[in-house]
Amino acid sequence: MVTVPARQGLEAVDILRRGACEAVGPVLHDDGGDTLGFVVPPGTAAAWDVPGSTCTETDGRGLSLDPNPEPPVEGSDWLLPPGEADLATDPAVLRAALGEAARLIEAADNCR
């Protein structure tokens, strides 16, 4: 799972959903930590190096195939539940969307 600050994550979700293909998998919103977590394929953590984000490897349990599973972290909610999204977000597509989101946020902050 790739975890990013909520503001950048929400921008990235918007970018991904506007794209030519449905490229976004399940996304978890952690209310307490103000973060978004993108489900990515196994093995992504080994090569993940995007500043301002973390990628954690699961212990192999994976996601339930239940279309409406309970969020895996207490105090969190599904922004895009597994039943309404692809199985995982492509890491290369997510990397590009997070980069674009960071640039948009920086530009917006500099206009104030």
Q: What is the pLDDT of residues 49-83, one digit of tens each?
A: 999 999 998 655 555 545 556 666 667 888 988 87
Give dist(CA 84, CA 28) in Å, integer.
Answer: 13
The pLDDT score that the predictor gives to residue 75 is 74
Q: How many angstroms separate the Cα of 1 from the Cα of each of 9, 10, 51, 93, 104?
A: 13, 15, 15, 14, 23
Question: Is pLDDT of 90 > 70?
Answer: yes
Give dist(CA 2, CA 82) in Å, integer.
Answer: 15
Range of the domain at 8: 2-111
> Looking at the 3D structure of the chain, how many domains does it have?
1
Phi, psi of 94 (to 5 degrees): -65, -40
